[in-house]
Amino acid sequence: MKLRYSADIRTLAFVATYFGLVIVQWLYAPSAWWVAGPLFLATCVFSFFGAVITHNTVHCPVFVNRTVNRFFQVLLSLTYGSPVSAFVPGHNLSHHKHVQTRRDVMRTTKVRHSYNIFNMMEFAPRIALAIMKNDATYVAAMKGQHRKWFQQYRIEASFVFGLTFLLFVLDWKKALVYWFIPHIYAAWGIISMNYLQHDGCDVNHPYNHSRNFVSKVLNWWTFNNGFHGVHHDVPGLHWSLTPAAHQERYGGHIDPRLDQKSMFLYLVRAFILPGRRLTFDGKPVELPPEGSDESWIPRPEETPDDLGAVAAG
């Protein structure tokens, strides 16, 4: 089980921590608020980290051996409550290839309020519904076009939904608190990040197309997910290499307002004070005409490997 990059020891440690949190709470069900509260919050956060790791994995596999990668995808699917392979259609093949267009099911222009707090409240649930519809269409297409991907997806889905059903049968209260709610938080978090990283940016600019969060502390915990611009430029680049690549490609070129040093301060400005929907250079966002999603489903000769995703075949 050789790692492609030694930095992914942290990846494995985070995944193990998530499962440890769930198992400990399921077995002991702490009742003291000062124990139960922090454990629950930690489970939500580490489930979100599972979604971040999923994002990294579908772009750059963790292990050298492909069979081990397939097994890891099954395990990873359980950390945030959705098949890892389902990340491919909405993220790799729709968002990355058609960013901020009507072929991007995650485009930020779907929400159209002047004040950002309302956009953030609407964005995740609206995008989640679009992703589910998008995934269903893609899965149906791949059943005939890419059987190995479809089989891997089916295995992951069987484990996720089968275990979820079993846990609710065993103890629905524990399943709700220790399993289901953290997964909802993870999905909300990973979808909402797309809004933070793209809204108000210049999609046609070679450097100003994405917002980056460059805090070293934040990026240690989120596997350098804050360096989003270079990730769009080189999707298959391993997460451990993105800070250096960001400096090399963007240093001296990107508008400094798109390299945010503090996510907390950015969130305050963007959603509270002043909280208005603005471009990165302080102008009101001009929204293009909006309509329904346009189909981007790949042709039979295209595969989920196009952007470095971990496919089963």
pLDDT per residue over 47-92, tens digit each? 999 999 999 999 999 999 999 999 999 999 999 999 999 988 888 8
Residue 132 has pLDDT above 80, yes or no: yes
User: Does 244 score more than 70 pLDDT?
Assistant: yes
Q: CA 100 to CA 108: how far, in whole Å?
A: 7
The pLDDT value given to residue 90: 87
Residue 129 has pLDDT above 80, yes or no: yes
Give the CA distances from residue 219 to residues 91, 164, 204, 225, 226, in Å, rounded to whole numbers and listed in that order: 20, 31, 26, 6, 6
The phi, psi pair for 63, rounded to 5°, reads -105, 160
Q: Is residue 198 within 8 Å of residue 108, measured between CB atoms?
A: yes
**What confidence category does residue 210 fall into, taking pLDDT thresholds of 50, 70 and 90?**
very high
pLDDT tens column, 182-196: 999 999 999 999 999
Higher pLDDT, 118 or 306: 118
> What pTM does this model have?
0.94
